[in-house]
Structure 1
Amino acid sequence: MSTELSLTGRIVAASARRPLVVAFLSLAIALSALFYTTRHFAMTTDTAELISTDLPWRQRELAFAAAFPQQRDLILAVIDGATPELADDAAARLAAALEGRPDVFRTVRRPDSGPFFEREGLLLLPLAEVRSATEQLVNAQPFLGPLAADPSLRGVAGVIGTALEGVARGDAGLADLRPALSALAQALEAAASGRPAFFSWRALFAGTPPGPRETRRFILVQPVLDYGALQPAAAASAALRSSAAGLGLDAAHGVTVRLTGPVPLADEEFATISENAGLVSGAMLLALLGILWLAVRSARVVLAIVAATFLGLVVTAGLGLAVTGRFNLISVAFIPLFVGLGIDFNIQLAVRALAERQHGRALPDALAAAGRGVGGALALAAAAIAAGLFAFLPTSYIGVAELGAIAGIGMAVAFVLSITLLPALLMILRAGAGGLAEGSTHLLAPLDRLVHRRRGAVLGIAGAAAVLSLALVPFLRFDFDPLHLRSPDVESMATLTDLMADPDRTPNTISALAPSLEAAAALAKRLEALPQVSHTVSLSTFIPADQEEKLALVADAAMLLGPALEGVEPLPPPSDTELVRALSTTAAALRRAAGDALDPASTAARRLAEAMARLEAGPAANRLAAQEMLAAPLRTLLAQTRAVLQAGPVTKASLPADLVADWVTADGRARVQAFPSGNPNDDENLRRFAEAVQAVAPDATGTPISIRGAGGSIVEAFIQAGVLSFLAVTALLAVALRRVRDVALAMLPVLLSGLLTLATCTALDLPLNFANIIALPLLFGIGVAFNIYFVMAWRAGETDLLQSSLTRAVVFSALTTATAFGALWLSSHPGTASMGRLLMISLGWELLVTLLIRPALLARPPAD
């Protein structure tokens, strides 16, 4: 190693002699890298590109996406109305508005509505429900006919008056009118008070309050995406929200529009990560500066370290972009990786130089001595860490493979700048002038003596901890569901959670392709026979069963209702004078019908009379609001009733082309969609569901399969990379150290720290996930670097390691990384916060191993 040591020493000395030249060249390289980055910057937020397409489950996923391209990259607009009529009207108007924006939206579809569903949708219900629905329409005929002729508040008052005449003649009882009287009274009371109110004729005729199935509608939108932006669908989402606002689709008008689906989920995840980025970044910066100052006690040295690290980060970004061609959501983690390890390299050199200064050396000589003293260890640490990071390159986890490539390059950059630019900056800033002090580590002397005296006990405790950790590690959980990493408070995730509560609308379904419609029908039967499957949907689902009986019921209803609804010319809207007259007349009729009786129907009649009287006496604006409240849903209901009464036979040939395209490919293959039985959100239930479906349809794909496939692929990638990293680092250390014992001493603390970290996660039930697992390369790199520093110092004959400048540098380096990146814990993004937790846990164990286990391992001299 003497040649390497003298080489790094000469490089540091040369940099100290020509500091302006080195600084100028470094700045020129950094500016060139910055220029390249700004000219060629590319960032993909497409999570589908993070895992290799060569994996079988990914190939099936891509094949399905190619077969149904209209179902890729979707925004799902979820429209909830205070009434079914409001939801239907809002969905229709919003879809029409979006169809007029082809510059932003490639396709706009209403999967649960449109002419086909409005006309034939009733036939898709079970026969009993069709019979009930047609009976309700027939029973509503006395109301629907007059209201079709006068769809206004005047018409409603007239219908009530006519019904009261029938009560007076004894044709009906007041109790028969009670539901209508109570519902109208509640709505008109709100209108008379100037409060927003919403009325549903459909709910009134059904006799039951509507549920989410009746009041919720969907619009599927394929936006024009810009993958060069951090939020590719930001423009489309903004345009959709703007259209909804322009149409008055808001809570004040009884409608809410929420966005979810894969595209908004991805966009809002990035927005969540950046939501409190200022807080996290500020905490990181303050922590870095504070710990660095405590380590070196010199603002000039801190400035030099920060400047060298920043320029290295710029150079790494440029080189990484040149190698990979773009950044992805994972590879951008090279930033904390580089900062954490780059600062460590700079702290090692700076603190060693401070120690040399205490021996009276001039700053150039102190820097050269520091280069000779720690340069070899830094070179070996950088090479070992880079080898460990490059081990991710052959894995199928492309996101981390690209991270490994960029961060591995960054290790070379960090090392070179630590022995060139940092010494140059320290000379330029005259950091050696006035009061550079290493600071005392003598407080650790008692611990040093204790570790030497109780070496056997310390190593025994370490061995017991390793055995216990090994026993706990098999119980470590890996959370396969990426949804658990998203903030539950953002709109897209909250909306998805809401939808997932409905087993018929859960996204956790599985789809399989059959060669033909006949084969799809047979496959659907086999899947439905599985206890893990609640039901299936295919194109055949949209061809109603029992059509003859259902159409007969519809025909009977049409015979009774048709004359009253078809060909009717509605009266013009009433004037305010006509409204006042109608309200006054009907209120009087209600009071006469109720009399002094105290039964519920009479009470409801008097309540409605009072509401009408208040509305009559109030401002005209309240009467207009009441009229619109009643007339708007009435128009919707009448249009829907006319459509339902025109239902006819449904065959495959009569199905809409866009509906057929969702279930049959261009080459005739047919899709079958399976829904899970039991809890559609339970991980274990979904695992059994996926296994059962794949046993019948091996080529099936869907969210439950993709989650398991991605989780398995990522875990396999990290295991593969872990083995390769271990072999590569061990081989490198074997070549450099040339003694099995020294290699073991360098690697054992790394393994112990890793085991303790994983065991702690198990004990605290903190699962590994797609986010925090990315922290493992950083933890591995820090552990390898620290071990190499200590072993190299031990081989050089240093004793009392806890009192050395090396321990000071290592401790402050660990504190810098832990404190700075522990700030990730403050993030409102659950995945980022979990990374911060894992970093803090691991670095805590790393410090403990540094202060206790490593000194015990190295308590005996190398010759022993």
Structure 2
Amino acid sequence: MTSSSSSSYRFFARWAGISYRYAIWIILLILVVVTLGAFYIVNNLGVHTDTTDMLSEDVPFRANHIRYLQSFPQYEDTLLLVLDAPTPEQAHIAAKRFTRYLQDDVAQFPSTYYLTGEPFFEQNGLFYKDLSELSRITDYLAAAQPLVARLADNPNLFTFSSVLTDAVEELRKGRKLELEPVFSGISATLDARLAGKSRALSWQALLGGEEQKDTYQELIIVQPKLDYSQVFAAEGPIDAIRTTAKGMGFAPDATEKLRITGEVALAHDELNSAMHGAQDAGLLALIMVAVVLLIAFRSAGAIFTIIVSLLLGLLLTAAFATVAVGHLNLISIAFAVLYIGLGVDFAIHFLLRLEEIRKPDQTVPEAVYKTGGDMGQSLLICALTTAIGFYAFMPTTYRGVAELGLISGTGMLISFLITVTMIPALQRFFPIHIKKSSRSVRSINKILDLPRRSRKLVYSVTIIAVLASILALPHIKFDYNLLNLNNPHAESVQTFQELLEDAEDSPWHINVLVDDVQQIREIAQQLRILPEVKRVISILDLVPEEQEEKSLLIEEMAMILGPVSFSTTAFLIPSPHTVSEQRMALDQLRTALNQFVTENPEHMSVLPARALEGSLASLIAKLDKPVLESGEAKEQLLFTVNNDLLSLLPGSIHRLQLALEAQPFEQEALPASVTELWHGNDDVYRIAVYPSENINDNDALRRFVRAVQKITPNATGVPVISLEAGEAVVDAFFHAFSLALIGVILTIWIMLRSAASTLLVLIPLLLAALLTGAGTVFMGLSFNFANIIALPLLLGIGIDSSLHMVYRSRNTGVGYENLLHTSTARAIFFSALTTLAGFGSLIFSIHQGTSSMGQLLTIGLLLTLVCVLIILPILLQSASDKREITAS
């Protein structure tokens, strides 16, 4: 037992007594210091949201990425704009319009790349197609040329229907014409119009012999100017893009849509969802914590004392962070969460012990003096061990966690100082009530007493749980996918995941830097044979092969098309044909299709022809309905159908004519705006390696990265960074926990001076860690970049709770039953409840990383509570029984 005459008892007892005696001056001094600290925080504390700065530049993969960004700075901090439209022509036009806006605002958008819209690629695009594809386009163009030529003279619905009727008649006569894409495209366009929607007919798809898809996309890469002094560094550029897009008509329900994704947008949405999720969870946590404290103390003064102490300690810790580090990052900002979770434990233990000590015939100063002596050393040991656990993260290469360790470790020492100083001082004004046996206390004691009657059962269940946990440990997973941390409903996340599904042009690809052209050939050849690689692109691929053969086909296309031209006003004037004439032309086409389908039931064009016949029948039926009796209504319907079918034809022909002027070229002909994307400013070359799988899956990501790294160890890019950063984090936490465990063991042994007591403190901690790891496996919860931050908190809570129990048992000599009826057990119970209430609410956050942190904390805290309040007391009782047997 601890004697009231021991030096540590007297030291902390006097400390508490002085704080109480000079309460006004102590409180004023602390308030002055905190106020000055608050002013210093406001004027000097910055926030760094750039996640790459959290990793040491000495780590190889980080060094590779830095070199890549130095060679190609235009790829750093980019937005990816996705323009969706029902046709490739409309998507191209919309992307060109928006690119012009971005390029005009150089101050806010220094770099903009719309590669498909580059004049060089618009003119030479046909050279990048295969010979077989060019041959197919030549055939389709030859078949479509009569239609195009007649429409150039009379671009209206009557001419279009008449020419198509002639084509169907040729099909009936046995001529081989591939009209399936034409029939399908027209049918889909008419069906959309009849449903009240607009779906223009893509002539680019028709002339290429392709089936028109529902949606086409164009991608624009933008490098915005970011302001890292602001929490939301990209808010300005993103808001400007959205405002301009809305002004241009790119709305979610419009024909053309613009969506924003890319690394900057993903980081912006992640921070936004994390902060909003924390706000919502914080409000819920505040209410729940207040309820738990009210149940524990039934005193507004006690609750006020705890909250004031927490706020003062939190501000002092933030002031230290400002002085020592100067900024917070997305990892170290969690110090507040960790401080509240652990700091409230110190306050609860002190006040509940004070409540237990205070007797009716005892004055408040005497109770405060005795509580300071009883609790001072145990709180100091808890503060030291928890601080050491945090400080162990400082030597790691994960800078974000290292800064968190420094701030939170010092925060634990600050929390100790505030607890043993401020709480006794506040007792002068808000004294704790004299302890009364309450229903809640009796209920808690009954709950804690239950395991005492089934000691063998507890041992058996514990052994089974340990064995099961050991078997489950190899299945613990770390989720390297940064997308899985974000709000799954955010536009940037959904758009990015959609792009990842297309392995042909995945935004997550690997970049390899080489020094000369010969290396490009060698490395590209090795990479292309890997099954994990879909395609490899370098500057050499910008000069297509077989240009002479392709040039001959392009010249043939130009001769087939001829000098076709369209009047710019042709589509603005009403049709020269009457409604009756246009209806008749449509009906003739429908009749021709019906005859073709009847006569050739096995023909490959039957299904699209039947679909088009049905669409024409519906259109004609609508024209004949009484609701459209007025001639103007019928003319308007036919005018919109005319535009749907023919409005994109002139632009498509113009772009085709431009492409037909292409001539063979060499690498020297590539424009600087293109070569700078592949040939860096320090004379290095970039090779882009695309995956054959959707690397949104962790296993696919690992396969892809490791396969490429075997050939090019210096490879970089988001896939490499995600995998390597994840492994770096796991490695950092493993080494940090190893150091922390060693430091904690030494500290406990030095302070308690007993190997047996040290072992008893560690057993619940190790048991809880083992069971928590297994719990994540059984619940399908993976560790990730966010929830792994919860581990220091669980470590601190586990150490503190176990220490308090062992210290109370050892230094007061209470047995199993009495130990569970003390303020120590109740303090552990209520501390766990407040932490559960506070951080369990994180489960409801829209940010998946924060939500997973809440899940992990809930699992870990519940298991820690079981180990400390059920298993540890039984171990203490067994150890006590052995000592009694030995003594007898």
Under TM normalisation by the shorter chain, which class is it? over 0.9
Specify whether residues 498 and 126 from structure 1 end up closer, same or farther in structure 2 by C-alpha distance, changes over 3 A only: same
In the alignment, the residues of structure 2 paired with residue 803 and residue 168 of structure 1 have an alpha-carbon distance, to the nearest angstrom, of 97
Give the drift of 1:427. Answer: 1.9
Residue of 706, 730, 737 corresponding to 1:722 = 737
Give the drift of 1:58. Answer: 0.9
Residue of 788, 802, 805 corresponding to 2:823 = 805
Specify whether residues 757 and 625 from structure 1 end up closer, same or farther in structure 2 by C-alpha distance, changes over 3 A only: same
Paired residue for 2:57? Answer: 53
Specify whether residues 12 and 438 from structure 1 end up closer, same or farther in structure 2 by C-alpha distance, changes over 3 A only: farther
AA matched with 1:793: R
Within 5 Å, give how 1:36-47 maps onto structure 2: 36-47=40-51
CA contact (8 A) 2:85 2:217 kept: yes
In the alignment, the residues of structure 2 paired with residue 564 and residue 634 of structure 1 have an alpha-carbon distance, to the nearest angstrom, of 11
1:382 paired with 2:383, answer yes
1:209 paired with 2:201, answer no
AA matched with 2:730: V
Deviation string 1:261-292 (CA, Å, 9 cap, x unpaired) is 11111111112123343431121101111111
Within 5 Å, give how 1:349-748 maps onto structure 2: 349-358=350-359, 360-432=361-433, 441=441, 458=458, 462=462, 465-565=465-565, 570=568, 573-576=571-574, 579=575, 581=577, 583-591=579-587, 598-599=594-595, 600=597, 603=613, 617-618=632-633, 625-626=640-641, 628-630=643-645, 632-748=647-763
CA contact (8 A) 2:48 2:328 kept: yes
Specify whether residues 142 and 358 from structure 1 end up closer, same or farther in structure 2 by C-alpha distance, changes over 3 A only: farther
Give the drift of 1:316. Answer: 1.1
Paired residue for 1:198? Answer: 200
In the alignment, the residues of structure 2 paired with residue 482 and residue 185 of structure 1 have an alpha-carbon distance, to the nearest angstrom, of 43
AA matched with 1:41: L
CA contact (8 A) 1:198 1:254 kept: no
CA contact (8 A) 1:149 1:571 kept: no
For structure 1, which segment, 246-255 or 367-376, has the greater mean C-alpha deviation from structure 2 after superposition? 246-255
Give the drift of 1:113. Answer: 3.0
Specify whether residues 234 and 517 from structure 1 end up closer, same or farther in structure 2 by C-alpha distance, changes over 3 A only: same
In the alignment, the residues of structure 1 paired with residue 763 and residue 170 of structure 2 have an alpha-carbon distance, to the nearest angstrom, of 98
In the alignment, the residues of structure 2 paired with residue 167 and residue 407 of structure 1 have an alpha-carbon distance, to the nearest angstrom, of 78
CA contact (8 A) 2:181 2:212 kept: no
CA contact (8 A) 1:391 1:725 kept: yes
AA matched with 1:116: F
CA contact (8 A) 1:486 1:493 kept: yes
Give the drift of 1:590. Answer: 4.1
In the alignment, the residues of structure 2 paired with residue 721 and residue 342 of structure 1 have an alpha-carbon distance, to the nearest angstrom, of 22
CA contact (8 A) 1:320 1:409 kept: no
1:90 paired with 2:108, answer no
Give the drift of 1:225. Answer: 0.6
Q: How many residues align?
A: 855
Give the drift of 1:431. Answer: 4.4
Specify whether residues 463 and 537 from structure 1 end up closer, same or farther in structure 2 by C-alpha distance, changes over 3 A only: same
CA contact (8 A) 1:41 1:321 kept: yes
Residue of 3, 7, 11 corresponding to 1:7 = 11
Residue of 768, 773, 778 corresponding to 2:793 = 778
For structure 1, which segment, 99-108 or 628-637, has the greater mean C-alpha deviation from structure 2 after superposition? 628-637
1:833 paired with 2:851, answer yes
For structure 1, which segment, 74-83 or 474-483, has the greater mean C-alpha deviation from structure 2 after superposition? 474-483
Paired residue for 1:853? Answer: 871
Deviation string 1:280-312 (CA, Å, 9 cap, x unpaired) is 112110111111111111111111111111121
AA matched with 1:749: P
Deviation string 1:215-270 (CA, Å, 9 cap, x unpaired) is 11100000111112222111111111112111112354411211111111111111
CA contact (8 A) 2:502 2:694 kept: no
Specify whether residues 167 and 718 from structure 1 end up closer, same or farther in structure 2 by C-alpha distance, changes over 3 A only: closer
CA contact (8 A) 2:86 2:199 kept: no
AA matched with 1:400: V
Specify whether residues 163 and 266 from structure 1 end up closer, same or farther in structure 2 by C-alpha distance, changes over 3 A only: closer
AA matched with 1:234: E
In the alignment, the residues of structure 2 paired with residue 501 and residue 810 of structure 1 have an alpha-carbon distance, to the nearest angstrom, of 49
Paired residue for 2:103? Answer: 99
CA contact (8 A) 1:249 1:257 kept: yes
For structure 1, which segment, 657-666 or 613-622, has the greater mean C-alpha deviation from structure 2 after superposition? 613-622
User: Normalized against structure 1, the TM-score is what?
Assistant: 0.92
CA contact (8 A) 1:188 1:611 kept: no
Note the aligned Cα RMSD (angstroms): 3.0
Give the drift of 1:101. Answer: 1.6
Q: Secondary structure at the match of 1:646?
A: coil
AA matched with 1:294: I
CA contact (8 A) 1:192 1:623 kept: no
Paired residue for 2:811? Answer: 796
In the alignment, the residues of structure 2 paired with residue 122 and residue 518 of structure 1 have an alpha-carbon distance, to the nearest angstrom, of 27
Specify whether residues 353 and 430 from structure 1 end up closer, same or farther in structure 2 by C-alpha distance, changes over 3 A only: closer
Structure 1: gaps of 5 or more residues: none
Deviation string 1:418-476 (CA, Å, 9 cap, x unpaired) is 111122223223444x8877777455667777766766775565455445433432322
Specify whether residues 165 and 329 from structure 1 end up closer, same or farther in structure 2 by C-alpha distance, changes over 3 A only: closer
AA matched with 1:658: S
For structure 1, which segment, 193-202 or 336-345, has the greater mean C-alpha deviation from structure 2 after superposition? 193-202
CA contact (8 A) 2:261 2:492 kept: yes
In the alignment, the residues of structure 1 paired with residue 695 and residue 679 of structure 2 have an alpha-carbon distance, to the nearest angstrom, of 26
Paired residue for 2:839? Answer: 821
In the alignment, the residues of structure 2 paired with residue 458 and residue 622 of structure 1 have an alpha-carbon distance, to the nearest angstrom, of 80
In the alignment, the residues of structure 1 paired with residue 564 and residue 705 of structure 2 have an alpha-carbon distance, to the nearest angstrom, of 53
User: Normalized against structure 2, the TM-score is what?
Assistant: 0.90
1:218 paired with 2:219, answer yes
Give the drift of 1:584. Answer: 3.8
CA contact (8 A) 2:189 2:201 kept: yes
Q: Secondary structure at the match of 1:512?
A: strand
In the alignment, the residues of structure 1 paired with residue 593 and residue 858 of structure 2 have an alpha-carbon distance, to the nearest angstrom, of 74
Within 5 Å, give how 1:227-246 maps onto structure 2: 227-246=228-247
For structure 1, which segment, 593-602 or 226-235, has the greater mean C-alpha deviation from structure 2 after superposition? 593-602
1:108 paired with 2:108, answer no
Specify whether residues 667 and 277 from structure 1 end up closer, same or farther in structure 2 by C-alpha distance, changes over 3 A only: closer
AA matched with 1:840: T
For structure 1, which segment, 623-632 or 137-146, has the greater mean C-alpha deviation from structure 2 after superposition? 623-632
Q: Secondary structure at the match of 2:110?
A: strand
Paired residue for 2:605? Answer: none
AA matched with 2:529: A
Paired residue for 1:79? Answer: 83
In the alignment, the residues of structure 2 paired with residue 443 and residue 361 of structure 1 have an alpha-carbon distance, to the nearest angstrom, of 27
Specify whether residues 142 and 772 from structure 1 end up closer, same or farther in structure 2 by C-alpha distance, changes over 3 A only: same
In the alignment, the residues of structure 2 paired with residue 59 and residue 235 of structure 1 have an alpha-carbon distance, to the nearest angstrom, of 30
Give the drift of 1:495. Answer: 0.8
In the alignment, the residues of structure 1 paired with residue 161 and residue 53 of structure 2 have an alpha-carbon distance, to the nearest angstrom, of 63
Q: Secondary structure at the match of 1:846?
A: helix
1:135 paired with 2:127, answer no
CA contact (8 A) 2:115 2:121 kept: no
In the alignment, the residues of structure 2 paired with residue 806 and residue 708 of structure 1 have an alpha-carbon distance, to the nearest angstrom, of 44
For structure 1, which segment, 277-286 or 496-505, has the greater mean C-alpha deviation from structure 2 after superposition? 277-286
Deviation string 1:732-788 (CA, Å, 9 cap, x unpaired) is 112211121222122222111111111222233322211111001001111111122
Deviation string 1:314-363 (CA, Å, 9 cap, x unpaired) is 12112112211110111111111111111110101111111122453222
Structure 2: gaps of 5 or more residues: 598-608
